[in-house]
Chain A
Amino acid sequence: MRKSPQPAAWAAIACFVATIFAGPSAAEVKLAFIDPLSGGAASAGINAQKHFTYEIDKINAAGGLNGEKLSIVFYDNKVDPQESLIALKKALDDGARYIFQGNGSAVALAISDAVLKYNERNPGKEVLYFNYAAVDPALTNAKCNFWHFRFDSDADMKMTALVNFIATQPQVKKVYLINQDYSFGKAVASAARRMLADKRPDVEIVGDELHPLQKVQDFSPYVAKIKASGADTVITGNWSNDMYLLFKAGKDAGLKVTWYTYYADALGAPTAIGRDGNGVVKVVTSFHGNALPEPDPDVAAFRKRFTDKLDEFNYYRLNTAFMMLTAAAAKAKSNDPVKIARALEGMKLTTSVGDVEMRADNHQLLQPLYVATFSDNVKFDVEKTGLGFKTDVKVTAKDTAMPTTCQMQRPNG
């Protein structure tokens, strides 16, 4: 005679099946990453993706957020605002409550606006937007909103750091500005003009050039102009090919200037600039490999896990962002985005680079900034080039604060 299974066994099977279906969604904090994972800018997105994998695994290993595990879905937006809004819609449908995006201010403005509208229409289901790289000052000024938090220093803060440094460099006499012809490039040019006039009125601005974004193949005519102007210093917000090709053309023409850049430390840039940049390329950044005498434990752990030549810990500020998220969740004793947003406002932390603060009035992170020079005389190199960045000056977090025009509208209650 065949025995039928015991009721206890049935119960166990039922339980098991229930766990499979209900398990993952039970207690989870859902994050969404919306950045380029294909197309020309994909390398930046893929590099950031590794940072997220690292940070989330770290937090989950330590028990998650108030006991709930973090999970993330990566959405490809091809750095296109329209694609980003579609990705955002998908992320919201999938139940994401925390949106992360960085590449491109146009994308950031679109997401910030969409998140604001969504939250107004869906009370109780609010989402937060963590911006880790888009630096258009408008995001924390005229276009600020309660749901957006920026973890990179904006273009004006970075320019202040550069200009304050230039103020201590008497050899800088003639400055040439060359930037990409779009909102960010124009913001850099106007900030440089304004601040140089203020801090170094004796400096002559001998050129203010805007060129089409990522369209120029041969920069030698621009370099000929820089050369004819007699400039000793070039300030540029150019990124990617626009910076590499400009620099290369300068080298070919024997242009002897110091380059003050925003993105000479971005992924792939040290490799593209190479040895010719030794001592003449400067960058303003929130972190670099030699910022600390000994490597930060997170940087070391990241390098151990991701070992490709280009796997640099480029987004130290993401580490800060996740530290803040964890601390805010602990302070709020909740994973509810609205409560976390309130906890984040005015939050102060100490990271390995120093004190940082999330401003309550405009949701801009104040963090130390470094002006650093690309040099072969460093302890740690980048991208295995034999060169790395060397701090010229460190600006403390509170000295990077700028006045804001933000009129923050906070939710009631």
Chain B
Amino acid sequence: MLEIITFSLLNGVVYGLLLFMVSSGLTLIFSLMGVLNFAHASMFMLGAYFSYQIGTWIGFWPALVIAPLLVGAIGAAVERYGLRHVHKQGHVAEILFTFGLAYLVAESVIMIWGRNPIENRVPAVIDFPAFLLFGTSYPAYKVLMMAISVGMFAFLYLAFRRTRLGLIIRAALTHPEMVGALGHDVPRIFVLVFAIGSALAGLAGVIGGFALLTEPSMAAALGPIVFVVVVVGGLGSITGAFIASMLIGIIQTFAVSLDYSLLDLLRVFHVVVSSDSAFHEVAAVKIAQAAPLIPYLLLVVILIFRPRGLLGRRDA
């Protein structure tokens, strides 16, 4: 029992941290620009593909640095030459722009790397057991993943709260004209934030690429859950995104190990549902079977009872 709890906790934390890596950039961009960037998960995918490609040429460690920088550069270009112009047309235009961009990225990836998953394996340098737990080895790359994710959170938190740049960014969020009047280049701050947000997604992609699957639909597969994290955590809140990621990761993981259904609960109260009633089939669904749907349930509950999210400042 202890073994299952420990592993479920560990798995939940790792998955939660991966979610945080992707969603932190998204929430960062939203907090500054008010843009819900639908192409964010595409940046995650680009990170995975770039790191794979660079990794085959010059090795994993350089790829870990170069791939996110490349993705960041693409993010900067998207903001500078795309979003900035669309921005004038309002939010709907911006959302449509990022929506289209996501398709564009996916199709480009298909053209370059093909439709099928590529063989993106855990790099040999980090493919060893990190430690033994209950006689089970724990892979080193997951430890690296945790370290990067926690490091990312610390970096963002400190940069946002404790540096001068963070101060300006936060000020630009609420009072862009004033910040501009004080002599700061607000559009450049926008480019910078978009680049950082994209680079973070790219970094998550480097790790997520081999932790999950590197394939053209990976962005579409991760996209919805990342939005759930951001909305549950509160749009624009880094700490909120962190808490929501962990919450979703851990709840989902534990739910999988629960083989109980509504039927079992009813039995406790001596309610018997006959097996030919229509309700029986619904009630017999185990919690484990529905586990991956729990985050979405959480989303609905949060939107009903606390639309601003756990730590959000304004309503979604």
Contact = CB atoms under 8 A, between A and B. Distances in A.
Contact of B115 (A46, A211, A222): A46
B142 A252 contact: yes
B239 interface: no
User: Do most interface residues of chain A lie in helix, strand or loop, or is the interface mixed?
Assistant: helix
Interface in A306-352: 310
Given A43-B115, A220-B14, A245 B212 contact: yes
B220 to A, nearest CB: 8
Contacts of B118: 271
A252 B139 contact: yes
A274 B121 contact: yes
B62 interface: no
B117 A244 contact: yes
A245 B211 CA distance: 9
A40 interface: yes
Given A252-B139, A272-B213, A228 B117 contact: no
B53 interface: no
A40 B217 contact: yes
A252 B144 CA distance: 14
B289 A181 contact: yes
A245 B256 CA distance: 16
B97 interface: no
Contacts of B14: 220
Contact of B289 (A40, A212, A241, A268): A212
Contacts of B253: 218, 220-221
B3 to A, nearest CB: 7
Contacts of B215: 241
Interface in A202-252: 209-212, 215-218, 220-222, 224-225, 227-228, 241, 244-245, 248, 252
Given A224-B11, A274-B119, A310 B289 contact: no
B188 to A, nearest CB: 36
B8 A217 contact: no
User: Do most interface residues of chain B lie in helix, strand or loop, or is the interface mixed?
Assistant: helix
A267 interface: yes
B293 interface: yes
A254 interface: yes
A197 interface: no
A340 to B, nearest CB: 34
A168 B89 CA distance: 69
B57 to A, nearest CB: 18
Interface string B118-142: 1101000000010000001101001
A253 interface: yes
Interface in A268-295: 268, 271-272, 274-275
Given A224-B257, A252-B142, A271-B117, A244 B213 contact: yes
10 contacts: A42-B115, A46-B115, A215-B293, A217-B221, A217-B222, A218-B212, A221-B8, A221-B11, A225-B4, A253-B136
Smallest CB-CB A-B distances: 6 pairs: A268-B116, A221-B256, A220-B11, A43-B115, A221-B253, A218-B15
Interface of A: 40, 42-43, 46, 181, 209-212, 215-218, 220-222, 224-225, 227-228, 241, 244-245, 248, 252-254, 267-268, 271-272, 274-275, 310, 385
Given A217-B225, A218-B18, A248-B212, 14 more contacts: A215-B293, A217-B15, A218-B11, A220-B14, A220-B15, A221-B256, A221-B257, A224-B11, A227-B7, A227-B136, A241-B215, A245-B213, A310-B114, A385-B119
